[in-house]
Chains A and B, each alone.
Chain A
């Protein structure tokens, strides 16, 4: 049972008899009148359990893309249905602007629909959804509040209607892909003209043109033919690239946003006053790692390498392998959509064991983790030797924009102490990087927005140098 504003208005109308007969009994009689009207309305309302509900949702949607949930309602009762229907979804999908207080309730007006159906009729209501967080989102129940003919009161039921949307990673770093692919094509098929070692795999023979390196002339082929012939080279193909995402506790840390990065709903961001004391709270470290993994995988796949992606903390969270070409990115997005940071210390021995069991040939192993000195010294350093023996290892870490801001702040003596702490942290990280480099590991550290392109550049450089 639920009341509407009309019931309140009816109760308020009681002021007329109260003015005419100002005795307490009048109020009592009027209360009985209101109650009786509400009961009659409830009895006459169509049952909310006689409504057939069907939900249609997209299976998967990219982060930040507007989509919708469709609900088909059929009135199977013999009464006329007059109802308010709420198609409930978790707050991160709701398109309405949140309350001004941070973390306040979101009143999803967009999820409420007025429905009027004669007996046997059907209607379709659409609830707009804009996902703001990665992962599987399960819909809540559908609530039907069926009002009586007077509109005073109604019956209400929450009915469990299944529905799940998988929110895929945004892959905003795909804008860097065309330029990297162009670089890849430049490398591909180029004669070893100026730089020998631009790729080490024999590609083809072609006619000598002035300017070619005389060392690349293939004398045997020249002898067989009438003109001078040079060999061309191309980067190796069919190499193996293993991208490992560390989903341990260090990946849960929020890194300072470098701009309006996490919020696609720009109007609310602009409406809020610029809070100078609290910088914007960015996404987790894992979000940047996922972006970098997607860009690197897309690039390596185009370059003809075989990509597999693992997510690991103390157990294997996700593994995408064996997909290539147009099937790779959907498979990756699907696999990485549900990866969440776990508040566990990463088991590096187990992680290295996973990599060693998955790949036996020499491959490029990219570890997307952090350069936090304590975590690296106790976790990665003791076991990294097992990988560097057979594989080329790259450690990629997201730097924190907020720490960079702290380092440059000279506004007060307190800020200078913070800057000193940031500088000390930089020194420790660079020391750790130096130790890793001594082990033959490539280290990439960049701001969240730059990590993906920097990692792609590192990959291209390694490929160009034939170090894969």
Chain B
């Protein structure tokens, strides 16, 4: 304690701002280079490849479940396609002189179905549920789910679209309601109903339609004719192009499951698509991200490096003993275990009684018998008896040896 070592005074670490920058660049240049190349590759890929979604029946989905084939052919034919995911957007875009395609929408609410029914456009519903079918056809058509279609059937109706398509394999679950008007045309009839139904609906006056005008609502029970993997089968392509290519504009609705909108007036157009969150959520999230980032930088910088210290190895001296004990146990080697216990006990007892190491077993057992007052045969059994038959006997033997030893030590 008394002899204190005073180290020389240190000021700075001999580096300058320039040398530190150079050293940091030297250390980080490869990482920076690799990251830059990676960013470049990602950018090029993102720009060169048009995005492809994975949503079923989406016009930008090139997978088997998508409908990009149909959409692209329509675009080449001069049809302008507007892809929407919210009912409100669809209703706003679907004015008179457009076609509105509604792809299967299992989460559609009744209010949304009403909103669609009042849209001014020609409606094409592919694979719609019973509620939606009834709503848009004003009760003229109903749908019951049927099994897979068996084979191509003839259209058997006078619609030009149907005649152009010819024989098709369509699920046929559409039926005209009893007592409905004669405006319902059914095509591709099957055992339970028709594959396609067209209803001439008089538009509601508040929907922007012209009084007296009639707009067609076409219902197709089986939406698979739009899919990339089935569009080339039979006359599917002709049906799709005939139904959707009627007008210059086509509004293609693939409903977002989170969408609850009905018309544009009752929601904020800046909110993200189908969002259940309030409009300021994004801003607050950004702010939280900023705070988290600053906190990460605060906690991430250490006050100097960790000081290392070489530690001694951890090898327990008792490991070999434990290992040998496990070996005995696994091999169920009660004989060896008992012999070890007996020999150790005999040696300690012999030392205590002053019996020399060279003395034979009889001398030792006699001495022990005299010291403890036990019959010699019992001592012989204990110290030189047969190996125990099971683990309980081994434990009992160990306890009896302990008792014998304690008796000898007491004497």
Interface residues of A (CB under 8 A from B): 1-5, 7-8, 10-12, 14-15, 18, 22-24, 26-27, 30-31, 34, 49-61, 65, 67, 74, 76, 84, 86, 88-92, 112, 137, 139-143, 145, 156-164, 252-256, 281, 284-285, 340-341, 343, 400, 402-403, 406-407, 410, 412-414, 416-427, 430, 434
Contacts and interface: CB of A to CB of B under 8 A. Distances in A.
A65 to B, nearest CB: 8
Contacts of A22: 279-280, 283-284
Interface in B325-365: 325-329, 336-338, 340-341, 343-345, 347, 357
B325 A410 contact: no
A159 B4 CA distance: 21
A311 to B, nearest CB: 15
B398 interface: yes
A236 B284 CA distance: 90
B27 to A, nearest CB: 15
A90 B309 contact: yes
Contacts of A26: 283
B294 A34 contact: yes
A8 B9 contact: no
B34 interface: no
17 contacts: A3-B301, A4-B298, A10-B294, A14-B290, A27-B283, A52-B9, A55-B6, A90-B307, A142-B10, A158-B305, A159-B12, A163-B5, A163-B7, A256-B318, A416-B394, A421-B325, A427-B343
Nearest to B283: A22
B294 A11 contact: yes
Given A88-B307, A413-B392, A423-B343, 11 more contacts: A27-B283, A54-B6, A143-B304, A341-B313, A403-B318, A406-B322, A407-B344, A414-B329, A416-B398, A421-B321, A421-B327
Interface residues of B, number: 68
Interface string B1-27: 101111111111101000000000000
A341 B313 CA distance: 9
B359 to A, nearest CB: 14
Contacts of B391: 413, 416
B107 interface: no
A88 B303 CA distance: 10
B45 interface: no
A422 B345 CA distance: 12
A251 to B, nearest CB: 10
B211 interface: no
Given A58-B3, A252-B313, A256-B318, A416 B395 contact: yes
Nearest to A140: B307
Given A27-B287, A51-B11, A422-B325, A413 B394 contact: yes
Contacts of A92: 309
Interface string B269-294: 00000000001101110110011011
B324 interface: yes
A444 B315 CA distance: 23
Contacts of B301: 1-3, 156
B320 interface: yes
Q: Is the interface of B mostly helix, strand, loop or mixed?
A: helix
B298 to A, nearest CB: 4
Which of A74, A412, A419 has the most CB atoms of chain B within a 10 A radius of its CB?
Answer: A419
Given A143-B303, A406-B325, A424-B324, A31 B290 contact: yes
Contact of A423 (B8, B297, B341): B341
A430 B347 contact: yes
Contacts of A158: 13, 304-305
A159 B13 contact: yes
A430 B351 CA distance: 12
Contacts of A8: 291, 294-295, 298
B10 A52 contact: yes
A341 B312 contact: yes
Given A90-B309, A254-B315, A162 B8 contact: yes
B42 to A, nearest CB: 23
A117 B295 CA distance: 28
Contacts of B179: none
Contact of B317 (A254, A407, A418): A254
A343 B347 CA distance: 34
Contacts of B3: 58-60
Given A76-B11, A162-B7, A254-B317, A3 B312 contact: no
Contact of B294 (A7, A252, A256, A418): A7
A400 B13 contact: no
Contacts of B287: 14-15, 18, 27, 30
Contacts of A156: 301, 303
A426 B318 CA distance: 12
A284 B337 CA distance: 29
Nearest to A413: B391
B402 interface: yes
